[in-house]
């Protein structure tokens, strides 16, 4: 091989790898991502049943009902609309009524959201950003009551 051929082989191969990587990324971005929605988006029928989504909001007070075994039902609200959710499994440690949560799954034709993953916050002050934004939008955001922090 001449110098030029060697260089061309290298550049050609690099281009090929790059093209494959770009193709994979474009395909995956089309197909393998989940959109974040609020209960209001769902109520307005913006989402087709059977699409994978993340639903964020507050767990409605008094809405947690346990079924057989580890089945649990609750409602996720953004203050305007609420969506019933069913989930089978163990809820995260910090999942509580009145607190923020993100449920991942699909909305059924009956309007019930079937979650396969439920996330809560990592510590008691943390609120998922998407949830905070959704609450701000619906006007239900309350700045945390001034914490009992001594003056500096």
Partner 1 sequence: MIVEVGHFALVLALALALVQSVVPIWGAVRGDARAMALAGPISGGQFLFVAISFAALTWAHVVSDFSVVNVFENSHSTKPMIYKISGVWGNHEGSMLLWVAILALFGALVAWFGRNLPRTLRANVLGVQAWVAVAFYLFVLLTSNPFARFAEPPMEGRDLNPLLQDFGLAVHPPLLYLGYVGFSIAFSFAAAALIEGRIDAAWARWVRPWTLAAWVFLTLGIAMGSYWAYYELGWGGWWFWDPVENASLLPWLAGTALLHSAIVMEKRDGLKIWTILLAILAFSLSLLGTFLVRSGVLTSVHAFATDPARGVFILGILMLFVGGSLTLFAARAATLTKGGLFAPISREGSLVFNNLFLTAATATVFIGTLYPLALEAVTGGKISVGAPFFDMTFGPLMVPLLIALPVGPFLAWKRGDIAAVAQRLAVVLVLSIAATLVTWAIRGHAVLPALGVGLATWLMLGSLAEIAFRIKLFSQPAGALRRAVGLPRSAWGTMLGHFGVGVMLLGIVAESAWKIEQVLVMKPGDHVRIERFDVAFERSVPNSGPNWDEVIARFRVSDGTSNPPVIMEPSKRSYRTRSMPTTETAIETWGLFSQLYLAIGEAQGDGVAMRIYWKPLVLLIWIGTLIMSIGGVVSLTDRRLRVGAPTPRKAAAMALPAAAE
Q: Is 78 in the site for partner 1 (CB under 8 A)?
A: no
Q: Select from 44, 65, 90, 111 the one that contacts partner 1 (CB under 8 A).
A: 90
Select 10 or 108, whichever has its Cβ closest to partner 1.
10
Angstrom distance (rounded) from CA 85 to CA 61: 14
Please, which residue, 21 or 61, has the CB nearer to partner 1?
A: 21
Place of tokens 């770009």: 22
Q: Shortest distance, CB of residue 33 to partner 1, whole angstroms?
A: 5
Q: Pick the binder of partner 1 from 104, 105, 106, 115 (CB under 8 A).
A: 104
DSSP-derived pairing of the beta strands 100-107 and 71-77: unpaired
DSSP state of 105: E
3-state class (DSSP) for residue 48: coil
Write the DSSP assignment of 72-94 as a string of letters: EEEEEE-SS-EEEEEEESPPPTT
How far, in Å, CA of 115 to CA of 71, rounded?
11
The DSSP bridge pattern shows strands 100-107 and 82-88 to be unpaired
CA dist., res. 132 & res. 143, Å (int): 10
Shortest approach of partner 1 to residue 6 CB, angstroms? 5
Q: Which is nearer to partner 1, 109 or 148 (CB)?
A: 148
Q: Which of residues 8-67 bind partner 1 (CB under 8 A)?
A: 9-10, 13-14, 17-18, 20-21, 24-25, 27-29, 31-36, 54, 66
Q: Which residues sit at the interface with partner 1, rule CB under 8 A?
A: 1, 3, 6-7, 9-10, 13-14, 17-18, 20-21, 24-25, 27-29, 31-36, 54, 66, 69-70, 88-91, 93-94, 104, 122-124, 126-130, 133, 150-152
């Amino acid at each position: 091989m001449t110098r030029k051929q060697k260089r061309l082989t290298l550049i050609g191969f690099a281009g090929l790898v790059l093209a494959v990587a770009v193709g994979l990324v474009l395909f995956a971005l089309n197909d393998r991502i989940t959109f974040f929605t609020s209960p209001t988006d769902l109520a307005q029928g913006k989402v087709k049943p059977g699409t994978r989504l993340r639903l964020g909001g507050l767990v409605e007070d008094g809405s947690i009902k346990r079924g057989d075994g580890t089945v649990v039902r609750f409602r996720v609200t953004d203050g305007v609309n609420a969506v019933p959710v069913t989930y089978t499994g163990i809820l995260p440690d910090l999942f509580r009524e009145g607190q923020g949560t993100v449920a991942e799954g699909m909305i059924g034709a009956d309007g019930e959201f079937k979650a396969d993953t439920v996330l809560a916050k990592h510590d008691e002050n943390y609120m998922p950003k998407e949830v905070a934004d959704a609450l701000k939008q619906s006007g239900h955001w309350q700045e945390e009551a001034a914490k009992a922090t001594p003056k500096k």
